[in-house]
Structure 1
């Protein structure tokens, strides 16, 4: 039941505004009727629209009272909606941010959270040494929560509006000294690494690292590969998913959609990598027979002897083990093989658009940035090699 009424106002043009009071249930302790009010509407029809919205919210179980609603209640409502729009990995990445916000504002009434208080929270995080990226993510999360409060008409203004994010003051020296470097292996270094992986590597090492080097796939994409994704007749690999395993426990993984829509792609593979994968499939079949019912067959290409996919952490540890056996003195991770593949594409004369499609970059600017850095690096190395050659010639004159 609702009661609509005119309310005198010195600021309104008509001298009054509209408001309403409505029943929201019975207090289980006192047995008395519970009510909530809204006011400040220009016309009765606006008040009626607001009433029906609020009625729907209460009907759906969102029992928020205008004066006493707490920040944590709105956060819980927002989170339920947010979960339906993003991947599990995104929710996990926001958990710490949500906990920080709850620590500051959790039990506070929404109406008591003002702009100076919110700005102070951001400043506190900066003083505590949190990165600018973390503070920016915190602000983005808070903004979404308060936007939800605005949608529910629980507040008229968001305390996140006009907030100033801290900015690091970069000196000229830092700009000049901070040259972005993309780590990758040159062709000869890659050959040495893969040869060592083949002769000294453990099961899956040579197959996995060869695939990463020859395709430019992300490590998560390669570990999510299933045999049904490989078409040997067409010589292609379909990339449609990525492995999500934050705890690195071999059984606690999920297959999620790739990073962007552009990441869903089909790439061609040459005969050499096809031969490696075909041989690997035969070997894997033999291990399945040996393991019998203990093997969990989920069709993963890079499956451990248990049948579960290799984890990202283990792949990194395997790579370090092989690198120690080589003469290479580079700090290389599995992701660096993606850059290595990019360098080989550039050397082969591939264009930016072609490289973008192979790597599955959502934004061509990402490809251009990598291309620019790697082209510069390759040119510098070519110049050095030429200088060494000319030095050797001049010494023999």
Structure 2
């Protein structure tokens, strides 16, 4: 039964019913309506939900409280790196909604939240991550019957329309080394590199591995008879604490793969394995034998090195080799892809070799690199034919 009353200038409704489970009388009231008809419509909707058994008694739990609970649940079913990301993204929700009840957050509130972050200049990828966390959070709240509707359900991430000038100046090229540059770089690494430099960059160039996958390699991942490398894990150490590293499962299921390696590269691995055995004998108990291929030789020898160290060493070798390009260790994956394309390898084979979970990732890189190749071919032809049409 519903009662509509006027209190001051506003209308209030109260609905009473018997709980079918407990048999106890329950009531719900809500005020603040400007018009009597609005109060009546909401009261009738509540009565309908009670009759059909679809009424959910919304909880008083706040977003902050539920976020804490959800993170505990999420940690049990996700990678540590993903958990760190969700924790970081939830800070935006905590700040914006503060101690607001979950049940009070409407679709209008949620969209305003995304709009506000957009206006403050957050990148689209950042907003996409925040929105993904929001959808997961409120979906779980809906499953627990803490809310009636999911406020993130129809939300849209605002898109910033780039100006013509910005589009013209935008650099969409994928950074990679040309074949002659790669040869120069590897030659420099062999002649002037520090310990492990040559074999590390040779692995990245010839295998197309992610840096974390390379640093996680253990000797039992190498099969010298079949000349293959098995990738099953990745190195994770966000705080650069030598002993606090973690070995996580790869980025995607497709990242777990076995790749064929060049005979000469495997020969270099054998040389390095013998060198490492001699080092272990020399260092005796000082060497922490965890079986890593690319292990430190000083300062906690045997532990895997930092990704930052690989980046620093690459910058040093780029300078020594005279290559003036803004490339990173990840660029070796693109370099590897460009050489595979040049060799006539198909996109499906490239996807499997690089461990892309989605063929679209491979196709996107393929399209960028082939476009770059076409432009260079056109330029070379123009240079070759210079003067013919004068």
User: Which of 101, 106, 124 matches 1:109?
Assistant: 101
256, 261, 278: which is aligned to 1:264? 256
- TM, length-normalised to structure 1: 0.82
**Cα distance in 2 between the residues matched to 1:118 and 1:389:** 59
Q: Tell whether 2:379 aligns with 1:384.
A: yes
| Higher mean C-alpha deviation, range 382-391 or range 263-272 | 382-391
Q: Do structure 1's residue 237 and structure 2's residue 229 form an aligned pair?
A: yes
Q: What does residue 292 of structure 1 align with?
A: 284
Paired with 2:329 and 2:99, the residues of 1 have a C-alpha distance of 45
- How many equivalent residue pairs? 354
Tell me if 1:345 matches 2:337. Answer: no
> Structure 2 residue aligned with 1:156, among 141, 148, 159?
148
Residue 41 of structure 1: SS of its match in structure 2?
A: helix
Deviations 1:120-179 (A, max 9, x none): 322222232221222222222122222222122222122223334221012344334435
State the SS of the aligned residue for 1:158: coil
Change (3 A) 1:159 1:379: closer
Counterpart of 1:372 in structure 2 is 367
Alignment deviations for residues 240-291 of structure 1 (CA, whole Å, 9 cap, x no partner): 1111111122222111111111111110011110111111111111111122
- For structure 1, the residue ranges without an aligned partner over 5 or more in a row are 1-7, 23-35, 51-64
The reply on whether 1:276 has 2:271 as its aligned counterpart is no
Q: Please give the per-residue CA displacement for 1:284-304, whole angstroms capped at 9, x wherever unaligned.
A: 111111221111111011111
Q: TM-score, normalised by structure 2?
A: 0.83
Contact 1:9 1:17 in 2 (8 A): no
* CA 1:66–1:380: 2 relative to 1, 3 Å: closer
Matched with 2:130 is: 138
- Specify the alignment match of 1:362 in structure 2: 357
CA contact (8 A) 1:187 1:344 kept: yes
Q: Distance in 2 between matches of 1:37 and 1:276?
A: 78
Q: CA RMSD in A?
A: 2.7
Query: Where does 1:124-135 land on structure 2 (aligned, <5 Å)?
Result: 124-135=116-127
CA displacement 1:223-249 (0-9 Å, x = unmatched): 110000000001111111111111122
Could you tell me how far apart the structure 2 residues matched to 1:17 and 1:161 are?
30
The 5 Å alignment of 1:20-35 reads: none
CA offset digits 1:340-381 (Å, max 9, x no partner): 111111111111111111111111121112112111212322
* Partner in structure 2 of residue 19 of structure 1: 19
Larger mean CA deviation between 108-117 and 71-80 belongs to: 108-117
Instruction: Verify: 1:41 aligned to 2:50, yes or no.
Output: yes
Q: Is the 8 A contact 1:238 1:267 kept in 2?
A: yes
Residue 212 of structure 2 is matched in structure 1 by 220
Secondary structure, counterpart of 1:238 in structure 2: strand
Whether the aligned pair in 2 keeps the contact of 1:225 and 1:300 (CA below 8 Å) is: yes
Distance 1:349 1:164, change over 3 A: closer
Q: Secondary structure at the match of 2:243?
A: coil
1:41-78 deviation line (CA, Å, top 9, x unaligned): 3357x78xx8xxxxxxxxxxxxxx95532222222222
Rounded to whole Å, the distance in 1 between the matches of 2:59 and 2:171 is 53
Distance of aligned partners of 1:369 and 1:110 in 2 relative to their CA distance in 1, 3 Å threshold? closer
Cα distance in structure 2, aligned partners of 1:389 and 1:167: 44
Quote the Cα distance in structure 2 between the aligned partners of 1:141 and 1:19.
Answer: 35
